[in-house]
Chains A and B, each alone.
Chain A
Amino acid sequence: MRPISYSRVSDVGTAIGTVAADPHSAFLAGGTNQVDLLRIYVEQPRRLVDINDLPLKQVEELPGGGLRLGGLARMSDVAEHPTVRRRYPMVTESLLLGASPQLRHMASVAGNLMQRVRCTYFRDTEAPCNKRAPGTGCSAMEGVNRGHAVLGTSECCIATHPSDLGVALMALDAVVQTEGPAGQRSIPIDDFYLLPGRTPEREHPLTHGELVTGIDLPPLPVAARSRYIKIRDRESYEFALVAVAVAMSVAGGRIAEIRLALGGVATKPWRARAAERELDGAPATPESFTRAAEAEMAGATPHGMNAFKIELGKRTIVRALTEMAEREGSA
């Protein structure tokens, strides 16, 4: 790790002002990603501004029935919050299926959204990587890419976005609240994540010094009937090969409301809109689920070792929908 200086701030204004004033500085929240990347020289700020004393740790009711997760609320606290658990079970599940209990105690939900990709070439400072060193090429394209994305890829980058929480938030149309030198912003989660395109180094629209202060979960009755399933090689403590966040209600045998998002397969938490279009109003049957899965993965592009994710993705979508439908049927 290169030498760094350290400041600790206790109010949002100072935090933003301090980081904004120094192009070589960065916020330090839970540190689980920041310290790791500092140690392997992928992130190289010279100054860390510790924001853990900022009053952004609450989970609060919003007028109109939504919920605001403070940006610095810990993954474990959000996961176990009774209201989150009751109204947005997929959020709880996505958090509890991520990382480990120790990491969940450390990591903030804002930091979780901001975490960098796990691509081995991104983490290897000697390897070409367009995201870390724009213009150097993508080593993953023809490399060890079993974990890489099949959706939302570009010729510049195929790294999978690793967040589980982000997938649930994508399904819920959460809104990211930020505050920066230019003021406060509300950014829909779908806009918060950028596709790699020709600029994979840009992962989100935040400016330097702009801080994620909170995440708003909209009032969404269907979210109470939701779940998050995650498929991986080992039973725990691993990033997803495929993950599905689904909220669904069925009325009269037909799908009345559907929200579907995918993780582990895309360069950003992936809202499965093509599948949703197929499912909206369709009979809650295996045929509909298969058709939806096919529609969503029709746009997928394999890159060698990760080709299986297309089929696995389809089957996991069908599995998630089937289980939700069974639950709805028995409810």
Chain B
Amino acid sequence: MKSHQAIRTAPAPDSAVVRGPDEVEVRLRVNGTTRRMFIEPRVSLLDALRDRLDLHGTKKGCNQGACGACTVWVDRRRVLACLTLAISCENREITTIEGLAEGDTLHPMQQAFLDADAFQCGYCTPGQIMSAVALLTEGHARDDDEIKEWMSGNLCRCAAYPHIRRAIRRVRDEQGGERASH
């Protein structure tokens, strides 16, 4: 290997605050509300939502980042809750499927999924919907090929894929293409 110029900088001593490994207080802002819990740092955002906050709309399908069922938004971007540590989300804005509808009125994407029969067992559905709404915000729903590719991070074993695309097209067209957002 070639040699490289080494600019010596003085690394700061280990001054970072250590939290854990036992339970520590963690505050998460979820769907606009601050929630407080005592959890170990190893607890994933997914398990924190499901088992500590009783927000079971976010689903566990693989716990390995391979299925997309746990898709939530962190700071408005779709991410996988299973590969996110809850403690790393302090000071972030978390949105789950429970935060999508306005009271009794479904989000247009929820209604479109219902009308297009874009699910069967419904287990992957919250993740699909969180992904689909984000997809429109991201502007990646211009045509079916784009929707296909940009929705491929969400497995649906019932294989409702063509109907998922139909639902997304409907919301896109209703909301005026790429301007659509939540």
The answer on a CB contact under 8 Å between A5 and B138 is no
Question: Shortest CB–CB separation between residue A170 and chain B, in angstroms?
Answer: 15
B6→A185 contact, CB < 8 A: yes
Describe A's contact surface by its main secondary structure.
Answer: mixed
A103 sits at the interface (CB 8 A): yes
The chain B residue sitting closest to A34, CB to CB, is B83
Check: A106 CB closer than 8 A to any chain B CB: yes
By a CB distance below 8 angstroms, the chain A residues around B7 are 183-184
Q: Are B15 and A235 in contact (CB under 8 A)?
A: no
Is A66 in contact with chain B by the CB < 8 A criterion? no
Q: From B9, B11, B41, B42, name the one whose CB has the most chain A CB atoms within 10 angstroms.
A: B11
Q: Report B58-77 residues with CB < 8 Å from chain A CB.
A: 63-65, 68, 71, 77
Stretch at the interface among A47-55, A154-162, A276-284: A47-55
Segment with Cβ contacts to B, from A6-14, A131-139, A240-248, A300-308:
A6-14
A31–B84 touching, CB < 8 Å: yes
Cβ-defined partner of A28 (8 Å) among B17, B20, B85, B154: B85
**B65 contact set on A, CB distance < 8 A:** 32, 36, 103
Of all chain B residues, which has the CB nearest A31?
A: B83
Instruction: Give the residues in chain A near B77, CB-CB below 8 Å.
Output: 76, 105
Stretch in A145-153, A186-194, A314-322 touching the partner: A186-194
The answer to whether A236 and B152 touch across the interface, beta carbons within 8 angstroms, is yes
Residue of A nearest to B139 (CB): A80
The answer for the CA separation of A318 and B20 in the assembled complex, in Å, is 54
Check if A205 is an interface residue, CB within 8 A of chain B: yes
Q: How far is the CA of A16 from the CA of B11 in the complex (A)?
A: 6
Interface residues of B in 1-30 (CB under 8 A from A): 1-2, 4-22
How many A residues, CB 8 Å from partner? 55
- Cβ of A100 within 8 Å of any chain B Cβ, yes or no, is yes
Contact pick for A102, options B40, B44, B63, B153, CB 8 Å: B153
Beta-carbon contact of A186 and B16 below 8 Å: no
Q: How far is the CB of A145 from chain B (nearest CB, A)?
A: 20
By the criterion CB–CB under 8 Å, are A102 and B68 in contact? yes
Contact indicator per residue, chain A 30-69, by CB within 8 Å of chain B (1) or not (0): 0110011011000000111110100000000000000000
B88 touches which one: A31, A103, A185 (CB < 8 A)? A31
Whether A101 pairs with B78 at a CB distance below 8 angstroms is: yes
Give the CA-CA distance A18 to B149 in the complex, in Å.
40
A331 within 8 A of B: no
By beta carbon, the residue of chain A nearest B90 is A8
> In the complex, A50 Cα to B87 Cα: how many Å?
10
A220 within 8 A of B: no
The 5 closest A-B pairs by CB, nearest first: A100-B153, A3-B21, A236-B152, A6-B41, A7-B16
A residues with a Cβ closer than 8 A to B are: 1-9, 11, 13-14, 16-18, 20-22, 28, 31-32, 35-36, 38-39, 46-50, 52, 76, 99-103, 105-106, 179-188, 191, 205, 209, 235-237
Starting from the known contacts A5-B41, A48-B85, 17 additional A-B residue pairs (CB-CB under 8 Å) come to: A3-B22, A6-B19, A7-B18, A9-B16, A14-B16, A16-B11, A20-B11, A31-B88, A32-B83, A35-B83, A36-B65, A103-B65, A106-B79, A106-B80, A184-B9, A186-B4, A236-B152
